[in-house]
Amino acid sequence: QVQLVESGGGSVQAGGSLRLSCHVSGGSFSGMCMAWFRQAPGREREGTSSIHTTTGPTTYAHSVKGRFTISRDNAENTLYLQIDSLKPEDTAMYYCAAKTAYGGSCPMLERAYTYWGQGTQVIVSS
């Protein structure tokens, strides 16, 4: 059974940075689509970024492009999300998700993903 464990969240001031991590165990890290989603209080979960763990293409939501960077370390079975220039509206629970990759690109659709972590909280104060 594939398990995902996020870490790296915290409370930061606007303008700061955080790096979130998602460690994958129980399955092969290669050949997967992985993504970061977030859910703010009272709002639906939204995709922020995705990556193909073998070929590497990335996709970003328009709202985070230029500030979020998704990456992976296949040797460590770990997915990362670097968040720079944090804004109060980035406050949310951040989740990583995974699914078997079919094709070269990876979606940011919640319903497409099979495996989910428990989330890590990010709070940005102004």
The residue with greater pLDDT, 13 or 103, is: 13
pLDDT tens sequence across 45-91 = 999 999 999 988 999 999 999 999 999 999 999 999 999 999 999 99
Residue type, 86: L
Give the mean pLDDT of 120-126.
97
Which helix H or strand E contains 85, and what residues bound it?
none
φ, ψ at 112 (rounded to 5°):
-80, -15
Residue type, 13: Q
pLDDT band at 98 (very low <50, low <70, confident <90, very high): very high
Mean pLDDT estimate for the chain: 95
Distance CA 119, CA 39 (A): 10
Distance CA 77, CA 92 (A): 24
Among candidate residues 105, 82, 76, the one with its CA nearest the CA of residue 17: 82
pLDDT tens sequence across 104-117 = 789 999 999 999 99
DSSP state letters, 11-48? EEETT--EEEEEEEESS-STTEEEEEEEE-TTS--EEE
